[in-house]
Amino acid sequence: MGTNQATLEHVIAEYWPRMVRAAAGYERNPALADELAQEMAFEVWRALAKFEQQSALNTYVYRVIHNVAVDHIRRATRRHETALESEVLDDCGVGPDAALQQTQQKQQLMQAIQRLPLSLRQVTLLRLEDLSDREIAAVLGLTETNVAVRLTRARQQLATLMAE
Amino acid sequence: MDNQDFSKLTELWQEAKPSKQPAPQLAQLQKKQQRQRWFMLMNAGFELVVLLFVSYFWISESAAGAALPELLWLGFVTLWGWVLFVVISFSRWRSLQAIKSGALSHSITLHTKLLQQSMFRWRLSVAATALFTVVFVVFTLYQCGSESCSVTHWVRYTVAFAVLLLAMLYFEWRARGDRRACQELME
């Protein structure tokens, strides 16, 4: 891919909303989620300079994003003191009632995801971004069977958490 | 939850757009990273300079024929410092090798190992500080027993003792943080 600045910026811009969503899925505190998204963008930017088409770009970028998230969890020692309120994600031009309902659903989904164990949270966040089992396996270094098992467990837990 | 329900969640998830988030500030992040690297290097350099200074002091005091208790105390501090520095540096080196390997991108096991190394360093710091504190107390009691200590001396020793205890508490708090993160990664 090379280090063409315009290409790098284009890729970062394209993946930016996904980074923001991933960061919100991993970090409850909105301010720290902002920081995490910035860090993801930076690491993707650095990693792209070394990208040599050894895997699909999509897989490569997601691998970096989720690696930064795991690194964040490793380093964060005050995570359990963080608040659950997060208003990181916005609505998309719908009426007031519908918007309110949608916002509540999003909050519910976000909180349920944040309460999943890490191994299930990872596969869920990737599936919510429409990655296939094979792609998720490549991103996380797992087998497809393992991914399928985790996804089944994640769906069950997500349903329980969202029903609470 | 069936496939249809999950598809709805996927739509809901992907509808979300960043609102308050500023665009990535890559230049600022690059500077921050450089600062952190400098800080790490300076830290290691500072530790080495302090150790060299203490070692030099011990040697020069020995050459000047200082009293035996003082020489023993300085010898203990020098030996304690070097052993701790070598063991901690080795652990840091192992962590750096893991980071450099590039396998961090797909291995949670490696992240867990990094945390275990970090926990080892904090626990070692707790143990080393405890040992230092015990020897310090023994030395202080000996000093004040053999020759009378003024109030100023006592205040100084008490402050030093309190600082050592606080340092131990801080190291323990950091080790617990690492253990919590480790548990979360292994869930």
Lowest-pLDDT range, A113-117, B101-105, B141-145, B159-163?
B101-105
Whether A77 sits inside 8 A of B184 (CB atoms) is no
Q: A119 and B26: CB-CB below 8 Å?
A: no
Both A109 and A163 in one domain: the answer is yes
**CB atoms near residue A76 (< 10 Å):** 19
| Average confidence (pLDDT) over A6-34 | 86
Q: What is the DSSP secondary structure assignment for residue A89, as one 8-state letter?
A: E
The residues pairing with A89 across neighbouring beta strands, listed in sequence order, are B18
Q: What number is the ipTM of this complex? A: 0.75
Q: What is the mean pLDDT of chain B?
A: 83
Report yes or no on A84 lying in a domain. no
The band of B102, judged by pLDDT with boundaries at 50, 70 and 90, is: low
Q: Structural domain tally of chain A?
A: 2
Q: Which of A111-115, B130-134, B136-140 has the highest mean pLDDT?
A: B130-134
Using beta carbons and an 8 Å cutoff, which residues of B are at the interface with A? 1, 5-6, 9-10, 12-26, 29-30, 33, 104-108, 111, 114-115, 174, 177-178, 180-181, 184-185, 187
List pLDDT tens digits, range B60-70. 988 988 888 88
Which pair of tokens denotes residue A46? 């650095």
Q: Is residue B153 part of a domain?
A: yes
- What is the C-alpha separation between B72 and B74, in angstroms, rounded? 6
B32 part of a folded domain: no
The domain of B58 spans 37-186
Q: Are residues A153 and A121 in the same domain?
A: yes
CA dihedral A2, A3, A9, A10 (to 10 degrees): -10
CATH of the domain at A16: 1.10.1740.10
pLDDT averaged over every residue in chain A: 80
Asked whether residue A75 falls in the same domain as residue A99, the answer is no
Burial grade of A134 (CB within 10 A; 0-12, 13-18, 19 or more)? exposed
B83 has a pLDDT exceeding 90: yes
A46 with A100, same domain?
Answer: no
Q: Which residues of B126-150 are buried (b: 16+ CB within 10 A; e: fewer)?
A: bebbeebbeebeebbeebeeeeeee
A83-115 as b/e: b if 16+ CB within 10 A: eeebebbbbeeeeeeeeeebbeebeebbbbbbb
- What is the pLDDT, as a whole number, of residue A92? 45
Q: What angle do CA A16, A22, A23 make, to 5 degrees?
A: 90
Of the residues A25, A50, A79, the one at which a domain ends: A79
pLDDT (0 to 100) of residue A78: 43
Q: Reply yes or no on whether the pLDDT at B96 is more than 80.
A: no
Report if residue B16 sits inside a domain.
Answer: no
DSSP state of B24: P
pLDDT in tens, A25-57: 888 888 888 888 988 888 888 888 777 777 788
Greater pLDDT, A164 or B105: A164
**CA B92 to each of CA B52, B81, B122: distance values in angstroms, whole numbers, following the listed order:** 20, 16, 12
Taking CB atoms and an 8 Å limit, are A159 and B5 in contact across chains? yes
Last residue of a domain, one of A24, A46, A79: A79
Predicted local distance difference test score (pLDDT) of residue B80 = 93
> What's residue A127's pLDDT?
92
Q: Tell me, what's the pLDDT at A80?
A: 52
* In a shared domain, residues A75 and A104: no
- Predicted confidence band at B79 (pLDDT cuts at 50, 70, 90)? very high
Higher pLDDT, A156 or A79: A156
* Residue A86 pLDDT level (bands cut at 50, 70, 90): very low
Report the pLDDT averaged over residues A89-107. Answer: 64
Q: What is the pLDDT of residues B136-174, one digit of tens each?
A: 999 888 888 887 788 888 888 899 999 999 999 999 998
Cα dihedral value A72, A77, A83, A88, nearest 10:
-10
Pair A70, A2 in one domain:
yes
pLDDT band for A87, please (50, 70, 90 cuts).
Answer: very low
Residue B81, CA atoms < 13 Å, CB-side half-sphere: 19
Which helix (H) or strand (E) covers residue B17, if one does? strand B17-18
Looking at the structure of chain B, the number of domains it has is: 1
CB contact under 8 A, A117 and B187: yes
Where residue A164 sits, what CATH number does that domain have?
Answer: 1.10.10.10
- C-alpha to C-alpha distance for B93 and B112, rounded to whole angstroms: 16
How close B60 gets to chain A, by Cα (Å)? 43
Q: What residues make up the domain containing A42?
A: 1-79
Give pLDDT tens digits for B15-49: 766 555 566 777 777 787 778 778 778 888 898 99
- Answer yes or no: is B56 within a domain: yes
